[in-house]
Structure 1
Amino acid sequence: MASSRGGGSQQVIRTGDMEKMSLDQLKAVKEQADIEVNLLQDSLNNIRAATGRLENASAALHDLSLRPQGKKMLVPLTASLYVPGTLDDADKVLVDVGTGYFVEKTMAEGKDYCERKINLLKSNFDQLIEVASKKKTLADEAGLILQAKLKQSSPSS
């Protein structure tokens, strides 16, 4: 995702600079900005989905902490496959830390992990919204200038 943040090493294009550009340069700027906006939108959607999964996990941990030891329950193996099981120790949970690795944590540590990840994702989401807004504005300005230049260069009917 770091590569899709855009804007770090790129030069800032101002409206005055765009007015001096040729039609081909303006088209290229608009196309590039549109591509970046689409990539940023995909990243925002991925962050939304990941945040939702973590919020569900946090809620599941809360529900699990309320169940007594020895309680019979269905254990999810996949998104659609559940098997019957018995709750052995509600204070120890396995946390998926990514790429197939799981870490055993206490219930409190698991909840804290989820909350920290949610806060990090929300912070990244806010930053990406800001970048996407700037890129969208750039694309819109380039489009308007491009349209104005096209009207000037076309013969009057």
Structure 2
Amino acid sequence: MASSRGGSGAVGRANELEKMSIEQLKALKEQADMEVNLLQDSLSNIRTATSRLENATTALNDLSLCPQGLLLQTLSLSVWVPRKSKKL
């Protein structure tokens, strides 16, 4: 029954599109293009965030393997090296 509803809805939308002027169709296409671009940007941001989260997880796991009391020096946001302790 759900498929018959979906089919009739598609037919209704097709009838609506046939009644639209060229200008209305162009505006509808521009709106759809903008929505697709927004979704692509959002997907790209999600992929970037996922990658950064995976990198942070790996870094935390690596840090948990370091002996306690070991000091680390930051070289960049994602690179740390052991710091030599200074004896006073």
* Band of TM-score, shorter chain: 0.5 to 0.7
TM-score (norm 1): 0.40
Structure with the larger strand share: 1
Deviating runs (4+, > 2 A) in structure 1? Answer: 13-16, 70-76, 78-86
Structure with the larger helix share: 2
SS at match of 2:66: coil
Counting matched residue pairs gives: 73
The whole-number CA distance in structure 1 between the counterparts of 2:64 and 2:80 is: 19
RCO comparison, higher one (Cα < 8 Å, 6+): 1
SS at match of 1:14: helix
Deviations along 1:109-138, whole A, 9 cap, x unmatched?
Answer: xxxxxxxxxxxxxxxxxxxxxxxxxxxxxx
Q: Which residue does the alignment assign to 2:83?
A: 85
- The structure having more radius of gyration, on CA atoms, is 2
1:21 aligns with 2:9: no
SS at match of 2:74: strand
Q: Which runs of 5+ in 2 are unaligned?
A: 1-11
The whole-number CA distance in structure 2 between the counterparts of 1:59 and 1:83 is: 15
The whole-number CA distance in structure 1 between the counterparts of 2:37 and 2:24 is: 20
* 1:80 to partner: Cα distance: 7.7
